[in-house]
Structure 1
Amino acid sequence: MTGAHQNKNLCLSEAQRLAWLRLIRSENVGPHTFRDLLNHFGSAETALAALPDLSRKGGKRGLRVCSQSDAEAELEAHMKLGAAVVALGEAGYPPHLRHLDGPPPLLSVLGGQALTTPKMIAMVGGRNASLSGRKLATTFARELGENGFVISSGLARGIDAAAHEAALPTGTVAVFAGGIDVLYPPEHDRLLAAILQSGGNAISEMPIGWKPRGRDFPRRNRLISGIALGVVVIEAARKSGSLHTARFALEQNREIFAVPGSPLDPRSEGANHLIRQGAMLVTGTRDILEAMAGRIEPELPFSADMEDTGDDLFGGVPEPDDKLRQTIVCALGSTPVEIDELIRFARAPVRQVHIILLELEIAGRLERHRGNMVSLLF
């Protein structure tokens, strides 16, 4: 990282790493909530102690907080696998992922150093890829690798597998939808072994042992694009998961490249649609290299590094009263509203409104939406 976006690397103690793991594995704590908790309380340990009270004030009793023993067991399982638990801001964390809106606080990481390169391109496409689609993926991945780019993908059948295989000599990263110990599809065990043996990586934000569900694959797709500078889409059908990756790439200010296909082939319908929507049409590796010339950082990145200082950063903010809580809850509904609009309506200190939103979120009553918007869950 260079210039204004250069960051001092974080270095968690083992006690802090355990506290971070406990916090992100606790009920109703996702990446956004984790960030807000850490920013408010100053440390994961302090936030953990506050979770039950936050949940109670938000309307839920009996919140499940990850225990010390469960977190220790997960770290031990990582050690047995030869995997690391890397925190946002640490040296081994993917450089571009920290600029997402809501990056994973912790990643499970297997393998070498390919993950830390600033020059990475994602390649995604159909599982039922044609022979010509696989050949294109092989060519793009090999030639991008020869020009210094690491390839990220999802280890799926079809285009993903072809891209990973072609990038073995130059570096590739496989992103899991389940736990780092849960390979999907299972027949790619040899491919995964080859990726790791060649110095590539496998990563996941999910707990050890987590078996992927349908909803976990879009979550994985945001990481495939998030660790890269751009995404190449080859043979994506209209409802392909690859289009989720392209949508995330758009939100993350990544470049989107699409390889055109025959209008008669339903496997190209999604990629052709992306081109009509403004994705860059590419027919060869040179098109991508020219577009990415000199780029080692996404445009307009978020700044999402976090610190675990042990200090309650906003301890001087008065506790919101029940009247303000009621005002906020009544103002919220199933239709998303901007948080800034909510603050103006409540005519209350910004931090007090954020505390109440945090309480509702920990209680499982608040849903976040793109564009800094929230809605109430009934």
Structure 2
Amino acid sequence: MDELACWLRLLGAPGVGRVGARRLVQRHGSLEAAAAAQPPTDLVSQALQRSRRWLEGGQQRSLLMLGDVDYPPLLLNSPDPPLLLFLEGRREQLAQLPAMAVVGSRHPTPQGRETARGLAAELAGAGLAVVSGLAIGIDGEAHRGALTRGASWAVLGSGLDVIHPRAHRELAASLIERGLLISEHVPGTQPLPQHFPVRNRIIAGLCQGCLVVEAAEQSGSLITARLAGEAGRDVFAVPGSIRSPQSRGCHLLIQQGAQLVQELADLLPGVAAATLKAAGPQGVEDPLLAALGWEPSSLEALQARTGWRTEALLARLLELELEGRLRRVAGGRFERTAAA
């Protein structure tokens, strides 16, 4: 089996899931051995066939798998990095551009639409990719605004051949041309309700921070903001009228410590600091387990001890995790296992 077939067999095994798949790789010592231990099923075979047909259908289509050299370091350092991503568009932007999530209500006010378009355009003009979920409302306005000045990426809750909503097919085509479509779902997957809260972790994980423009108190955008905060990313919110239901979620975020945003200048200091942190110093050859010691340590602490670049550090951490010699624990930290 090739790597795609291995991951699909693991992810398609009953009761395994993403976390279980990582544990099986650790237990068996390799992806190939873990996949071989799972019985083949018709559903997995069909998913593999659909995936290969889709990949062969366009030059801008590709797979990003856990362990690839261009896997985004920020996403790799998130609490639940996806094992497999389908991409369509300009994959090179993942390594070239820092990113900011811009999310919000599916039923925004006219002022909210204008604010999302304007701030997204300014962020893209400042050299960031604007990331959102291709939904109607604030998501769509953020994508459109960003594409007027630069790049935008959309993370879907369906297969990349199932654009949802259908009204955004033209917008999706523009994103493929100048940005990127991203999904962890195999082609043909329908946009089921349970997919969207899960895909929000990818939006949060890809980005330096998350900006919420308008959101009700029960908005899914607050899930993205919470996931961003749990991943150690900055959370920003645009205030609005105290009489507007679409602003109550933003006001709640501000009460909880989100940074209030009125203009681009309110976003850039935090983004610049996060970008510098992600860049890291030049790497040197030091044993990573020795630097880790016997207490849980954060990525920042390990960088300070080793001097490694973020990409090299995360790649080695992944190797050690797959070998079963360290594990991720709460707070985005790492600790040795007994096997180390």
TM bracket, shorter-chain basis: 0.7 to 0.9
Instruction: Point out which structure has higher relative CO (alpha carbons under 8 A, 6+ apart).
Output: 1
- In the other structure, the counterpart of 1:75 is 52
Letter in 1 for 2:94: L
Q: Distance in 1 between matches of 2:299 and 2:52?
A: 31
Say which one has the larger Rg.
Answer: 1
Relative to structure 1, is the Cα distance of residues 78 and 142 closer, same or farther in structure 2, using a 3 angstrom cutoff?
Answer: same
* Deviation readout 1:224-282 (Å, 9 max, x if unpaired): 11100100001100111100101111111110000011110000000000000111111
1:197-346 aligned at under 5 Å gives the runs 197-198=177-178, 200-296=179-275, 297=277, 300-301=298-299, 303=314, 306-307=318-319
Per-residue deviation, 1:27: 2.4
- In the other structure, the counterpart of 1:172 is 152
Letter in 1 for 2:23: D
* Maintained 8 Å contact 1:129/1:235: yes
Relative to structure 1, is the Cα distance of residues 252 and 44 closer, same or farther in structure 2, using a 3 angstrom cutoff?
Answer: same
Give 4+ residue runs of structure 1 displaced > 6 Å after superposition: none
* Maintained 8 Å contact 1:95/1:118: no
C-alpha RMSD over aligned residues = 2.8
Letter in 1 for 2:182: I
Q: Is residue 2:119 matched to residue 1:140?
A: yes
Per-residue deviation, 1:161: 0.8
> Which shifted more, 42-51 or 117-126?
42-51
Uncovered stretches (5+) of structure 2, i.e. residues with no partner: 281-297, 301-313, 331-336
Letter in 1 for 2:116: A
Q: Is residue 2:152 matched to residue 1:152?
A: no
Q: Distance in 2 between matches of 1:68 and 1:138?
A: 42
Letter in 2 for 1:273: L
Letter in 2 for 1:183: I
Relative to structure 1, is the Cα distance of residues 48 and 89 closer, same or farther in structure 2, using a 3 angstrom cutoff?
Answer: closer
* Maintained 8 Å contact 2:50/2:186: no
Per-residue deviation, 1:104: 0.8
Relative to structure 1, is the Cα distance of residues 249 and 65 closer, same or farther in structure 2, using a 3 angstrom cutoff?
Answer: farther
Q: Distance in 2 between matches of 1:301 and 1:189?
A: 39
Relative to structure 1, is the Cα distance of residues 28 and 201 closer, same or farther in structure 2, using a 3 angstrom cutoff?
Answer: same
Q: Is residue 2:101 matched to residue 1:126?
A: no
TM-score, length of structure 2 as denominator length: 0.78
Q: Is residue 2:62 matched to residue 1:84?
A: yes
Q: What SS class does the counterpart of residue 167 from structure 1 fall into?
A: helix
Letter in 1 for 2:51: E
Per-residue deviation, 1:143: 1.1
Q: What SS class does the counterpart of residue 64 from structure 2 fall into?
A: strand
Uncovered stretches (5+) of structure 1, i.e. residues with no partner: 1-13, 53-62, 315-337, 340-348, 352-378
Structure 2 residue corresponding to 1:103, chosen from 78, 81, 94 = 81
Report the number of matched residues. 293
Q: Is residue 2:177 matched to residue 1:190?
A: no
Per-residue deviation, 1:147: 1.2
> Which shifted more, 99-108 or 110-119?
110-119
Q: Distance in 2 between matches of 1:69 and 1:105?
A: 19
Q: What SS class does the counterpart of residue 130 from structure 2 fall into?
A: strand
Q: Distance in 2 between matches of 1:136 and 1:187?
A: 21
Q: Distance in 2 between matches of 1:278 and 1:313?
A: 38
- In the other structure, the counterpart of 2:25 is 38
Greater helix percent: which structure? Answer: 2
Letter in 1 for 2:6: A
Q: What SS class does the counterpart of residue 203 from structure 1 fall into?
A: strand
Relative to structure 1, is the Cα distance of residues 160 and 78 closer, same or farther in structure 2, using a 3 angstrom cutoff?
Answer: same
- In the other structure, the counterpart of 1:58 is none
Structure 2 residue corresponding to 1:116, chosen from 88, 95, 106 = 95
Relative to structure 1, is the Cα distance of residues 94 and 65 closer, same or farther in structure 2, using a 3 angstrom cutoff?
Answer: farther
Per-residue deviation, 1:71: 2.0
* Maintained 8 Å contact 1:257/1:279: yes
Per-residue deviation, 1:284: 0.6
* Maintained 8 Å contact 1:178/1:211: yes
* Maintained 8 Å contact 1:150/1:171: yes
* Deviation readout 1:112-144 (Å, 9 max, x if unpaired): 022334511000001111111111111111111
TM-score, length of structure 1 as denominator length: 0.71
Letter in 2 for 1:110: E
* Maintained 8 Å contact 2:159/2:187: yes
> Which shifted more, 289-298 or 67-76?
67-76
Letter in 2 for 1:91: V
Relative to structure 1, is the Cα distance of residues 73 and 193 closer, same or farther in structure 2, using a 3 angstrom cutoff?
Answer: closer
Q: Distance in 2 between matches of 1:194 and 1:73?
A: 24
* Maintained 8 Å contact 1:253/1:301: no
Letter in 1 for 2:100: I
Relative to structure 1, is the Cα distance of residues 47 and 308 closer, same or farther in structure 2, using a 3 angstrom cutoff?
Answer: farther
Q: Distance in 2 between matches of 1:128 and 1:20?
A: 37
Per-residue deviation, 1:166: 1.2
